[in-house]
Copies of this chain bind each other. A is one copy, B any other.
């Protein structure tokens, strides 16, 4: 019973075919037919016709009428790193399990683009929006609020909507401590040998810097001037920062706290320009987990942010009618060098393996 190039079947087509009215067809096919006291046999007839003619509802029409779309959005800064791509992966799984349709879009950490993108999503009447790593969550909130769309911040908090973020302060403490302890008592790390590279002036970076400084002072006695080298979230800027440091000092610091895997890529670019031997004794801590990063030829300690729990919590909150506007902290996990963790892909069954 192929559709020979014809248009898609509508409830009106089925209405004619079945001899019922369009509203009856609609009720049968969207599940509200019992409420409308439609005969089982009528429903059966319509259902079989629908199947024969491969009926599928026009979701734009439904959305227009009901002003809901069944779409759930995830706004990402970028796709292309493991933190956000694994977030997208688990997001999709969760949304699907709720019977909705996931939509993932990135806005390149550009406030303008964020707002424009969200406006577009709103114009499609998305039902809910998960705002991950937005540079300006509160403006996004304003748009959602005006449109009556439930929304929640992830990864970077806002002040107007509930937020689920990882505990950057604790994570940074753990990571910094692990870096320091990696150096044995024989040749302990000195305060002036421990630096933090990467990040910008966002909540996550600030908290990580605070954790870094606190634990550094606790364990090494003091923090040092210029131990923080913000570079934005750009590999190239980070590379330049390392080049500058190297030109100035003739070596890399032995202890490196790197704010994200994106910044870590900047370190790679630096390394590609220099002989391997120039930094065999360094210890890197990276506030992000990447399985390949964990196996590099120097000790790499990583933080894995728990995207599963973050999203689970976010889903829980977004279901509430009036969730409190507060920040929920999710504990991240310290990952020792040479560790290959399972990820969201592992829950996918592979067919003909």
Contact = CB atoms under 8 A, between A and B. Distances in A.
A351 B109 contact: yes
Interface in A248-278: 261-262, 264-265, 268-269, 271-272, 276
A123 to B, nearest CB: 4
A85 B81 contact: yes
Contacts of A264: 292
A50 to B, nearest CB: 13
Interface of A: 2-3, 5, 8, 54, 56-61, 63-64, 69, 71, 78-82, 84-86, 88-89, 92, 101-106, 108-111, 119-120, 122-125, 135, 145-147, 200-201, 230-237, 261-262, 264-265, 268-269, 271-272, 276, 290-297, 338-340, 342-346, 348-353
B69 A79 contact: no
Contacts of A120: 59, 101
A45 B63 CA distance: 30
Given A235-B345, A236-B346, A351-B135, A104 B79 contact: yes
Contacts of A80: 82, 85-86, 88-89, 343-345
A342 B265 CA distance: 10
B345 A262 contact: yes
Given A200-B351, A234-B353, 9 more contacts: A5-B145, A60-B69, A78-B345, A79-B85, A84-B85, A268-B292, A268-B340, A292-B293, A296-B297
Assembly of this chain: how many copies? 2
A102 to B, nearest CB: 6
Nearest to A105: B102
B106 A92 contact: yes
A86 to B, nearest CB: 5
A351 to B, nearest CB: 7
A88 B79 contact: yes
Given A80-B89, A292-B268, A104 B101 contact: no
Contact of A234 (B60, B103, B232, B350): B350
